[in-house]
A and B are shown apart, each in its own frame.
Chain A
Amino acid sequence: MNKELKIFAVVAAFTIALYWGVEPFAHSQMHAHVDGNGLVYDGKADIAYTSKDKVKAKKAFWADVKTIAALKGDVTAGEAGFATCTGCHMDGAANMGGVTPPILDHAGALYDKNYLIALIKDPAMAMNTDHKFTGTRTHPMGSIKAMMTDNQQIADVVAYIKAKKAGEVTPKEAYVESCGRCHANRYGNSTQLGETPKFKYKKDELAYQIKVLEEQDLIKAYMGKIPPDLSIIYRARSHHFLETFIENPQSQLHGTAMPRVGLSENGMHKVMAYLEETGDPSKPARDALGPWVLLFFVIFTILAYLWKNSLWRDLH
């Protein structure tokens, strides 16, 4: 018996070493570990990893954001300013310069306050995609820079969004509003145009598909490629990767066209919940069944051991 345990220990040690080598160790060597910034949008990483000539501008920009964040915003005054936004950000808006403006119904719940301030001040800087907008190319939302220049007004509008556009949001709404205009999710039955309706006639279905392709062409022209379908991105990347990537896309994929979305903690939680829902739908069933199956095999093993002992008892 003693000898068997020793042999088992050797086999187990080699197996564990094998697992360690091909899993945790190999992955630690393949992917650089990136820490998040706790969903605090202060431009720290932007400044640290930008080219030399841009450091000064980025520092000044995020210092301004900090100044505005300290101002007390007036919700009532902000409502008037918000009207500027709804000119483009409305239900059923069409693609503008590569992307369809998102509806802002839950913007206060989904996005961080500092990020919203930064976004209104300079969208390309806030999204950390300013490297894309050189020369004559302007950000699709770039015009806001000229339309809203007063610091107090920015503070008011953000205060209004945080106070009045912060209703309870479902995981699916969070996904649709913050990711769904660029990323399709075919397991969630959605394209860049939203949920795909049912069609009785093939002709209608094809017409709709053409509309989707046209939208994708516009996005492709803007982003450089069609952003990936996120159906099972949850299993293709780790939870940690997705969180840090969404928080600051440049941190994991330098030079990517993906903008920073500026999710708040609540927004991130909801978006991740939806990605898990479409990407790993069997998790609740696994969690429910797992303990019972394991319990079964533990009892099975005990019974098998007792049976074996009853047969082997007289042999030695």
Chain B
Amino acid sequence: MSSRRDFMGMALGGFTALGGIGALYAMKKSWDPLPSVKAAGFTKIDLSSMVENKLAVEKWRGKPIFILKKTADMKKDDRDLIVGSDRYHLSIGLCTHLGCIPAYKPDDKKFLCACHGGEFDTAGNNLPGLPPPSPLEIPPFKLEGTTLVLGETGPEYQKMFDAGITV
């Protein structure tokens, strides 16, 4: 009779485990970011009022976003956003070293991170020989005329993403 006992015990155990998986799924869902958090993950920014060489900082998904209208003498880069005849630098303003917020130095035309001395140029590329391992990250964006929608993926962003410019 022992085999029947074992079989029934295992059948019950297996079935209970199945229910356990269901319960774990519900728990996982309860732990997810709330729909309201996700719905708030889109920010619209008007580019037309930007001033050259003056850094604008906006907030998107709780993170600082850098937008810099580039002057003509700044080096052109594949990372730039081109709107009409203007070029913009757009990035998540967190140093790729350990996540501090770099400050923009308009006179030197570069970003300096005070935490560990990392530096980035006006295209967000990390300058060699310093702690940051990679350029500033670019948030997903979509261009609607002169309005920038952060959080949505437009063709310009897709191109950068495919080219491996940002992750």
Contact = CB atoms under 8 A, between A and B. Distances in A.
Interface string B1-20: 10011001101100110110
Interface in A257-308: 296, 299-300, 303-304, 306-307
Nearest to A297: B19
If over half of B's interface residues share one DSSP class (helix, strand or loop), that class is named, otherwise mixed; here it is: helix
Contact of A303 (B1, B4, B5, B15): B15
**Max chain B CB contacts within 10 Å: which of A299, A300, A306, A307?**
A307
A35 to B, nearest CB: 41
Contacts of A310: 1, 4-5, 8-9
A314 interface: yes
Nearest to A299: B15
A60 interface: no
A300 B12 contact: yes
Contacts of B5: 307, 310-311
A303 B12 contact: yes
Nearest to B10: A307
A300 B8 contact: no
Nearest to A304: B12
Given A303-B11, A310-B5, 15 more contacts: A296-B18, A300-B15, A300-B19, A303-B12, A303-B15, A306-B12, A307-B5, A307-B8, A307-B11, A307-B12, A310-B1, A310-B4, A310-B8, A310-B9, A314-B1
Interface string B95-117: 00000000000000000000000
Contact of B9 (A296, A300, A307): A307
22 contacts: A296-B18, A296-B19, A296-B22, A299-B15, A300-B15, A300-B16, A303-B8, A303-B11, A304-B12, A306-B8, A306-B11, A306-B12, A307-B5, A307-B9, A307-B11, A307-B12, A310-B1, A310-B5, A310-B9, A311-B5, A313-B1, A314-B1
Interface of B: 1, 4-5, 8-9, 11-12, 15-16, 18-19, 22
Nearest to B3: A310
Interface residues of A, number: 11
Nearest to B26: A289
**Max chain A CB contacts within 10 Å: which of B9, B12, B16?**
B12
A300 B19 CA distance: 9
The 7 closest A-B pairs by CB, nearest first: A307-B8, A303-B12, A310-B5, A310-B8, A307-B12, A306-B8, A310-B4
Nearest to B4: A310
Contacts of A311: 5
Nearest to B19: A296
Nearest to A303: B12
**Max chain B CB contacts within 10 Å: which of A300, A306, A310, A311?**
A310
Contacts of B16: 300
A218 B25 CA distance: 50
A242 B135 CA distance: 61
A306 B11 CA distance: 10
Contacts of A306: 8, 11-12
Nearest to A309: B8
Contacts of A314: 1
Contacts of B9: 307, 310
Nearest to B15: A303
Nearest to A300: B15
B151 to A, nearest CB: 15
Nearest to A200: B44
B96 to A, nearest CB: 30
Interface string A93-116: 000000000000000000000000
A299 B14 CA distance: 12
A300 B18 CA distance: 10
A296 to B, nearest CB: 5
B29 to A, nearest CB: 11
